[in-house]
Structure 1
Amino acid sequence: MVASFFYIRGCYFKERQMKHEEEDIIDLLKKGNVACVKMLFDNYYRALCVFALRFLNSFEDAEDVVQEVFVNFWEKKKGCEFSGSLRSFLFGAVNKAALYHLRNSDRMVFEGLETHLNQLMEEEMPESDEDIALRKQKLFREIEALPEKCREVFVAIVLENLSYKEVAEKLNVSVNTVKTHYSRALKQLREHLDIIALLFFSIKK
C-alpha cells in the first residue's frame, strides 16, 4: 500500500494504519481475554464517536453511546466465536444504540433517521477513490478555516493521534477544554463526519 499524505497549515500528515489486526482481536475475544477491549478501543473508539455524532447533538452523548456499545459487546461476545467484520458490527451497533438513545430522549436529529444508510457500515465505499479524495480536499480546506484553538485540538486528536490528556498537556489546558474545542470543531465540520471517521482507518487503494 502506498502511503497517503495530506497537508494542513504548513504540515504534512500521513494517514494512519490500524494499530491491531481484527484477527488478533477476535482470537483474544474467543479466549475471553479482556485485552481485546483495549485493542478495540485503540482501533475504533474515536471513529465510532464521530460516527455517533452524525445522529446526536452532543459529543458527550456520542461518547456515552460508544462506551455502552463496547461494554455490551464484551459482556455478550467474550469467550464466543465471532465471524465477519468487527468494524461493520461495531458501526451497526452504534447506529442502533444512537437510535435507541434518540427515541428515549425524544430528540430526533433529522427525518427518516431509521432508514438512513451510512456508508461506513458498508464493506466497500460506494464512492470512487477520486470522489473521496475530492471530499477530503474540501474537508481539509474547512479544517484550515476553523478557529485556531479548535483547529489545533482537532489536528492533534484526529491527525496526530494524540489522546485528550496528551493534547491538554501539549496546549497547557484542561482535558475538559480539549473536549470542548474538539466538540465545536466536529459540529462545524458536521457535513464531513463520514470522511473524518474514515481518517481513522487506512483506505484501500
Structure 2
Amino acid sequence: MLHNDANKYEEAQLLSLLADDSEYAFQLIYDRHRSRIYQVSLRYLKSPILAQEVVQDVFLKLWFNRKNLKTDQPVEAWLYQVTKNNLLNRLRKIANEWKAMKGLGLIAETSINNTEAICQEAQYDELLQAAIAQLPDQQQKVFTLARQEQLTYNDIAQRLNISPLTVKTHMSRALDSIKVYLSAHGIIIPAALFIILK
C-alpha cells in the first residue's frame, strides 16, 4: 500500500512538472510507457512503421495536453485510451480505403506493364524531389535526415540542436506540404499508403 502511495505521489509530481513544460518529466513518462504502446500497436497494425507512428502521435498529444492532465489520475490510463482511439481511427481508415480501392478496381490480380510502371515511378520520384525542394529550409533538413539518412527523431534533434517534438512538427508539416504538392500534380495518395513517406 505504501509502495502504491509512493508511486501515485511520484506520478503526480511528474505530471505537475510536465504541466510546467518539463522535458525531463516528459522523457521519463515516455521511457516508461513507449514500449508497451508500441507492442500493443504492433499487435493490431502488423507494421513496425505504423506502430512507431502511433507512439509518436500518442506522446505528441500528451505534450500538447500536458497542462490539462489531472495529477490525481494515472497517466497510464490516459495514454492507453489515446492509443486505443488512435488505433481504432487508423484501422477504420485503412478498412475504408481498402474498400474504396477495391471498388474502383485499383486492387487487381492482373500484373501491370513493367515499362509503364518504371516510367510512373520515375515521374513520381521527379515530382517528390520537386516537392521536397519547395519546403522551407528546416523542413527540408529534417525530411532529408529522416528519409535519406534514416536518422531517428532524437538523432535529428541532436544534430540540428532542436527538441524531438520540434523535429516531429517539422516532419508533419513537411509531409502535409508534400502531399498537397503531389495532389496538385495529379498524384493522390491515400492516407494509409502515405505512410511509405513517413
Scaled to the shorter chain, the TM-score interval is: 0.3 to 0.5
Higher relative contact order (CA 8 A, sep 6+): 1
Q: Which has the higher helix share?
A: 2
Using the size of structure 2 for normalisation, the TM-score is 0.40
Q: Which has the larger radius of gyration?
A: 2
Using the size of structure 1 for normalisation, the TM-score is 0.39
